[in-house]
Amino acid sequence: GAVVSQHPSRVICKSGTSVKIECRSLDFQATTMFWYRQFPKQSLMLMATSNEGSKATYEQGVEKDKFLINHASLTLSTLTVTSAHPEDSSFYICSAPGPTAFTDTQYFGPGTRLTVL
């Protein structure tokens, strides 16, 4: 089946540093990927839509200069949290629509837990 991976699964960084999170579709191509964040005991909130070969589309209220998204290839999207601060600590999850026969289903990565000290 369609598998989406994320790396790293956990990261701890100091305030002011930048952190890159990778999202890969392992056995299918994804021209579009989605990035969500989830605060403890809360639901997932869509941050942005990552588009291969073009700029990402950000949801209202999400700072595009803080959360840099690059869709480098048909199987890789990266989210870089720039100048991270403690309030950026969260669980970041990516997803991708499935391969051709399953494009009506999103497949989710296992998530990356970011802790900013």
Which of 46, 47, 106 lies closest to 80, judged by CA?
47
Nearer to another protein, 16 or 110 (CB): 110
Shortest separation between residue 83's beta carbon and another protein, angstroms: 28
Shortest separation between residue 89's beta carbon and another protein, angstroms: 17
Nearer to another protein, 14 or 60 (CB): 60
Sequence-distant (≥ 6) Cβ neighbours of residue 35 within 8 angstroms? 23, 46, 47, 48, 49, 50, 67, 69, 77, 79, 92, 93, 94
Nearer to another protein, 15 or 42 (CB): 42
Q: Which residues bind another protein (CB under 8 A)?
A: 4, 32, 34, 42-46, 49, 93, 95, 97, 103-111
